[in-house]
Structure 1
Amino acid sequence: MNRALPGEHAYRELAARDTVMAGLIDLYGTPDPFRWSEAPAVAGGDPLAGLLLHICGQQISIRAALAVYGRLLGLLRGGPSPAALAALTMEQLREVGFSRAKAEGIRDLARRLTDASLSLAALATASDEQAVTALTAVRGIGPWTAQLYLLHQLHRPDVLPAGDVGLRHAAALACQLPRAPSASELTALAEPWRPHRSYATALLWTVLRAHRSERGARGPCLSACGERARGRQSRPAATERGVGCRRHPTPPGGQGLDCYGWRPLK
């Protein structure tokens, strides 16, 4: 099993191997890939609570996921446990906000934990591949949920959730791609980032958050995401480091703007 290297070491190696990563680190620093801001106060360090929160978060916003998770905790009273989960009926799970598919998945998870066909404790010493295989055997847990669990709960250093749409969008921004790569294309693109893909993932998510935040504050973005500002034309040009794209027009009296959220180019 791979052990996480200290963040500085991992980011130094990423910067040495990839000029795009080097530029992003200069712009956005070295985010902690294992920090999940919503989890500590809600799930703490409990592995089952963390897994349930990730299941709640499938295909919905974190705000909605936290609401569903909070209602689920209200049913579990003493906190999540295999026995408490197994005691919940399909109707109770549906009432707290789970879809039928998710409710069936929760019940399957409870059964597997109860009969010991799945051990969350054993995942701590399993390889990444073994842990993903064990988790995806549960109904309703796909690669994305399993990989996020490896990242946030098990703190594995080389996780790339290539199916994550936001991560693929961020890769398009960072690498000046004409469109978001497919999952397989992102996996190939990320090959030089091994064995530190968790760190690269955290960096790309930071890029995406900054992009969305600043775009929301200043208007539409003309970057690799393909959105066009009304009545404006993009003029692609490369930056000195190859990070950013200057696909935005220059505003009246202003400087060029890069594709990471309407930030003045230096």
Structure 2
Amino acid sequence: MSASRPLRPLTERSLRRAARHLGERDPALKRVLDALGPPPLWARAAGFATLLHIILEQQVSLASARAAFQRLLAVASPLTPKRFLELDDKALRLAGFSRQKTAYGRVLAEAVVQGDLDLDGLATLGDEAVRVELLQVKGIGPWTADIYLLMALLRPDVWPRGDRALAVAYQQLNGESAVPSDEELAKRALAWRPWRAVAARLLWHFYLNRGGRRAG
């Protein structure tokens, strides 16, 4: 398939089917399925609010990011780019935004308002084209772009390189002595194509049930 065309988004049904397929190919993932059942879809609504939420999740616990996002919604609902730009530094600081993430949020909001980033149009693009569009925005790196692809656009073959929870889950599930590097894990994930996003969900599913904090 052409890289410029998006694959069909995951659904609950296709997720379960792909998870079974992966379990037949990978004994470690089969153990997750046997013990826990299929993972959640962890779908998020595509758009500005979700992308901003993912930016909040960078380098912090998901619980902390979720709390900050809920405080933001309390003062800016519905959360639109224009409404976000109306909030001053104090309001965002009280919501839990760092100075850096305040700047990132404003850059994102301005890009959407000015038409430099067409979030609605991303659904029509292939994975790499979506990454190109998102990575032009300061504050959006590869992990943020991939999480948006995986959870908001529900692309089936996205691997969020750099996700610590995935690396820890892989290590524990396979009984390895060390956590694999981002590069090493990305190479191993090639074995799960064309369902790497489903494999990621299975690993998060395992991680959460081992006391971790990865969720959508």
Q: Which amino acid aligns with 2:84?
A: L
Give a deviation string over 1:23-70, Cα, whole Å, max 9, x none: 3322222113x325xx6xxxxx35222112212222222332222212
SS at match of 2:35: helix
Which whole-Å deviations, capped at 9, do the CAs of 1:224-250 have from their partners, x for residues lacking one? xxxxxxxxxxxxxxxxxxxxxxxxxxx
Match of 2:115 in 1: 116
Distance 1:7 1:71, change over 3 A: closer
- Higher deviation after alignment, 56-65 or 88-97: 88-97
For 2:144, the equivalent position in structure 1 comes to 145
- Asked if structure 2 preserves the Cα contact closer than 8 Å seen for 1:28 and 1:203, the reply is no
2:153 aligned counterpart, secondary structure: coil
The equivalent position to 2:34 in structure 1, one of 7, 16, 26, is 26
- 2:10 equivalent to 1:2: no
Cα distance in 1 for residues equivalent to 2:62 and 2:30: 30
The equivalences for 1:190-205 within 5 A come to 190-205=189-204
Does the Cα contact within 8 Å between 1:135 and 1:141 map onto a contact in 2?
A: yes
Partner of 2:180: 181
Which deviates more, 20-29 or 123-132? 20-29
Change (3 A) 1:200 1:46: closer
Q: Secondary structure at the match of 1:200?
A: helix
TM-score scaled by structure 2? 0.85
With a CA cutoff of 8 Å and minimum separation of 6, indicate the structure with the bigger relative contact order: 2
| Unmatched segments (≥5 aa) in structure 1 | 40-44, 214-266
Counterparts of 1:1-266 in structure 2, within 5 Å, are: 1-4=6-9, 6-32=14-40, 34-35=41-42, 45=45, 47-77=47-77, 79-212=78-211
Q: What's the offset of the Cα at 1:128? A: 1.2
Q: Which amino acid aligns with 2:91?
A: Q
1:89 shift after superposition? 3.2
The 1:100–1:10 alpha-carbon spacing in structure 2 relative to 1, beyond 3 Å, is: same
Shift of 1:91: 4.1
Give the letter for the 1:82 counterpart. Answer: P
Q: How far apart, in 2, do the equivalents of 1:95 and 1:20 lie?
A: 43
Residue 210 of structure 2 aligns to a residue in which SS?
A: helix
CA change 1:207–1:86 in 2 (3 A) is same
Q: Which runs of 5+ in 2 are unaligned?
A: 1-5
Q: Does structure 1 retain, via aligned residues, the 8 Å contact 2:82–2:109?
A: yes
**2:3 alignment partner in structure 1:** none
Output the aligned Cα RMSD: 2.0
Structure 1 stretch 195-204 or stretch 22-31: which is displaced more? 22-31
Counterpart amino acid of 2:76?
L
Structure-1 separation of matches of 2:94 and 2:131: 30
Change in 2 beyond 3 A, CA 1:204/1:94: same
User: What is the distance in 1 between the residues matched to 2:70 and 2:208?
Assistant: 25
Residues 162 and 183, structure 1, Cα contact 8 Å, conserved in 2: yes
Alpha carbons of structure 1 residues 94 and 15: separation in structure 2 relative to 1, 3 Å: same
Structure-1-length-normalised TM-score: 0.70
- Contact 2:48/2:109 (CA < 8 Å) preserved in 1? no
Q: Percent identity?
A: 37
CA distance in 1, matches of 2:95, 2:209: 33
* The structure with more radius of gyration: 1
> Which whole-Å CA distance do the structure 1 matches of 2:18 and 2:118 have between them?
30
- Per the TM alignment, residue 142 of structure 1 is displaced from its structure 2 partner at its CA by 1.5
